[in-house]
Amino acid sequence: MKDKILIVDDDPLICEGLTYVLKDKYDVVTASSGRGALLKAETEKFSVVLTDLVMPGVDGKHVLREIKRSYPQTQVIMITAHATVDNAIEAMKEGASDYICKPFDIKNVQKSIVRALKEAAFERIDYNLEQKLDNETIKVSISKDSILKTLSNPIRREAMEFLVSGDYSFTEILTQLDIDDPTKLSFHLRILKSVKFVKQDDYKIYSLSDQGKEIAKLLSFLSQMSDSKDAN
């Protein structure tokens, strides 16, 4: 069964264009306003919601909050003009899985949706991680909840996994993860730093902390699990 995606934008051309691009892989539904989107979410269950941030009336942030409150499993991706990147970052803090800047490359949209779906998959199996965390005697300074929240984002997981292979600079990580927007990566790395999974030396080189290495071990185990589940 195809994953169901809701596209919310007050510009019908965006809705139509994105539908055309995504319809082969996904079951695409559109809404031309925030209110309309919330009404549709009441009757249908979406895997991913792509919503414009700035809209008259109910805006993207409102849509995000409502969706995350009523349907926590649904992933939300914000679409924004550059001017509102700050708001997009705010939105990420409130639970959006990603943001895309206008004008965008179609392949970046597709990549972002794939990541969001991975995140959803990860959240579905977080039960395993929880158990693992309970069983393992790793010394972590933060709560289980925070670990799960931190690791739910695929970019952060990818960054952790990449750092297992060595210490890298910001640009190297950016290139490896193929991320279109440096601000986005910097946001995620900061989160990883704040929970002390990742540290940065005087030359601004990133590496895993001791606790980060433990978490990375767990991750490799879990991503195998999640991949095998995806394959199923």
Partner 1 sequence: MKNGLDIISSPWDLDEKTKELLLLQEVNNLLNSGSKLEVILETIAKGLTTIFGYNVSAIHLLNESKTHLVCKSYSAESNLVKKVEKLTKISVLNWKIRLFTGSMLTQLIKTKEPIITTDIVNLVKSHSDIPALSKLAGSIARFSGIKFGIGVPLLAEDKIVGVIGIGSKERLLEKDVEILLNFSKQAGLAVERAKIFEILEDTVQERTKALKESNEFLDSVFNSITDTIFIRDLNYKIIKANRVSEQTFRENLVGKCCYKVIMQRSEPCIDCDIDYTIEKKEAQTQEVYDDNLKEHLLISTYPIFHEDGSLNAVVKSIKIITEEKRTEEQMIRADKLASIGRLAAGFAHEINNPLTNISLYAQILHHKARGENRQMLDIVKSQTDVAGRIVKNFLKYSYPHSENYGPIQLNETLLKVLDFLKSQFRQGNVNLECDLDPKLRKIRGDGSHLEQVFVNILTNALHSIDKEGHLKIRTSNNGGQIKVAISDTGCGIPKEHLSKIFDPFFTTKEVGKGTGLGLFISYGIIQKHNGTIRVKSDIDKGTSFIMQFPNLEDYER
Footprint on this chain of partner 1 (rule: CB under 8 A): 11, 13-14, 17-18, 20-21, 81-86, 89, 101-106, 183, 186-187, 190
Closest distance of CB 219 from partner 1, Å:
26
Smaller CB distance to partner 1: residue 91 or 218?
91
Q: Is the Cα dihedral 173, 79, 7, 59 positive or negative?
A: positive
Smaller CB distance to partner 1: residue 117 or 189?
189
Packing angle of the helix pair 210-231, 154-164 (nearest 10 deg): 120
Smaller CB distance to partner 1: residue 118 or 156?
156
Closest distance of CB 82 from partner 1, Å:
4
CA angle, 47 then 53 then 55, to 5°: 115
Smaller CB distance to partner 1: residue 187 or 206?
187
CA angle, 204 then 205 then 210, to 5°: 120
Closest distance of CB 42 from partner 1, Å:
29
Q: Are strands 75-80 and 98-101 parallel, antiparallel or unpaired?
A: parallel
Closest distance of CB 98 from partner 1, Å:
16
Smaller CB distance to partner 1: residue 85 or 159?
85
- Residue 124 DSSP SS3: helix
Rounded alpha-carbon distances, angstroms, from residue 142 to 103, 157, 172, 191, 201: 38, 17, 28, 13, 22
Smaller CB distance to partner 1: residue 19 or 128?
19
- Which long-range contacts does 126-135 make (Cβ < 8 Å, 24+ apart)? 126/152, 128/222, 128/225, 129/218, 129/222, 132/218, 132/221, 132/222, 133/218
Closest distance of CB 17 from partner 1, Å:
4
Closest distance of CB 183 from partner 1, Å:
7
